[in-house]
Structure 1
Amino acid sequence: MNNIADEIIFADAQLTDLPFIVEVYNQTIASRMVTADTSPITVNDRLEWFNAHNAQTRPLWLIKYNNQPCGWISLSTFYGRPAYAKTVELSLYIHQEFRGKKIGQQAVMAVEQFARKNKIETILSFIFAHNQPSISLFEKLGYSKYGHLPNIAELDDIKRDLVILGKAITA
């Protein structure tokens, strides 16, 4: 039996991958568990975000499972001030047909390896408090609660809490 890690490839996302990235992102909107967007976005909506990534310090990776695109993971600048340069925000989205295969776990571990090699010291993930699957994934990988922001989002007239999970990355 193959190890799942052997079946997963991470590649720097290309502009031609952006429609797939947007498709996967849009799949999560209706659940009201993953993103604060309330209606689908377009490729054009994400161009500036896409261009803010770079392979050297803030990657956006397309995830392939058995050579088929299955999701994406990115590191983004946290807060935009120089003092936070060694802290990043992690975003992870898996296509609905590929969830439950431990792809997310492998993706987070790969990003942590990248962080160690690139002098990133802290990884943060912003997760709605009611998104227990994502919270469980990050806690399983050693992330702990760095913050809890009560009632700061409203989705379909329901106030939602945001939890910040973080992990110190050591060499």
Structure 2
Amino acid sequence: MSGNLVIREAREADLPAILEIYNDAVRDTTAIFNEIIVDLDNRRAWMAERQGRGFPVLVAELDGRTVGYASYGDWRPHDGYRNTREHSIYVHQGCRGQGIGKVLLEALIGRARENRVHVLIGCIEAGNSTSIALHTRLGFRLVGTFREVGHKFGRWLDLACVELVLD
């Protein structure tokens, strides 16, 4: 990666870039199983809800441009799962493969430790070997694969689940 990469808390000014990155993932990838393009108000509400609950929303800024973001939130809604969080990471399509996802994930893991998260969960489209390998390199363990639980682009998708026990 060339340039100056900074990981920081997301701000209102980052929302157009977050929207662009998210909608690209919806439109062109299986990184998320959603199929509906969202608007700026949707991302604004998403960020306000996350930050309002004390969950981090981190952005990767490369030479002053927001090129990725990461966050975590509830894994399941029941009280007994309050120390487990599910995370997500998205990188601008023109910046993938440069190590930005790794830096974002490392920062998110650090934030999870600070916030006393016990387990961090990731759910990855099973064909995304790059993301699975990144998570494995950072200590996540592949715990299982759900077969054909998603459907997008006219085909069934498998979901690989990874976990990292933090304490």
Report the TM-score, using the length of structure 1 for normalisation. 0.87
1:148 has 2:142 as partner: no
1:34 has 2:31 as partner: yes
RMSD: 2.0
Q: Please list, as runs of the form range in 1=range in 2, the aligned pairs for 1:20-99 lying within 5 A after superposition.
A: 20-54=17-51, 57-99=54-96
Contact 1:32 1:155 in 2 (8 A): no
Q: Please list, as runs of the form range in 1=range in 2, the aligned pairs for 1:7-22 lying within 5 A after superposition.
A: 7-22=4-19
Q: Distance in 2 between matches of 1:145 and 1:55?
A: 31
Q: Which residue of 2 aligns with 1:108?
A: 105
Structure 1 position 45, deviation (Å):
2.7
Structure 1 position 159, deviation (Å):
0.9
Mean Cα displacement is larger for which, 56-65 or 107-116? 56-65
1:116-169 CA-to-partner distances (Å, cap 9, x unmatched) read 121111111111111122112111212112232111111122111111111111
Report the TM-score, using the length of structure 2 for normalisation. 0.89
Q: Distance in 1 between matches of 2:123 and 2:15?
A: 22
What secondary structure is seen at the aligned counterpart in 2 of 1:101?
A: coil
Q: Distance in 1 between matches of 2:54 and 2:166?
A: 15
What secondary structure is seen at the aligned counterpart in 2 of 1:162?
A: strand
Contact 2:17 2:67 in 1 (8 A): no
Number of residues of Structure 1 aligned to a counterpart in Structure 2:
166
Gaps of 5+ in 1: none
Aligned-pair identity (%): 23
Give the alignment partner of residue 138 of structure 1, picking from 135, 147, 150: 135
Contact 1:12 1:55 in 2 (8 A): no
Structure 1 position 67, deviation (Å):
2.9
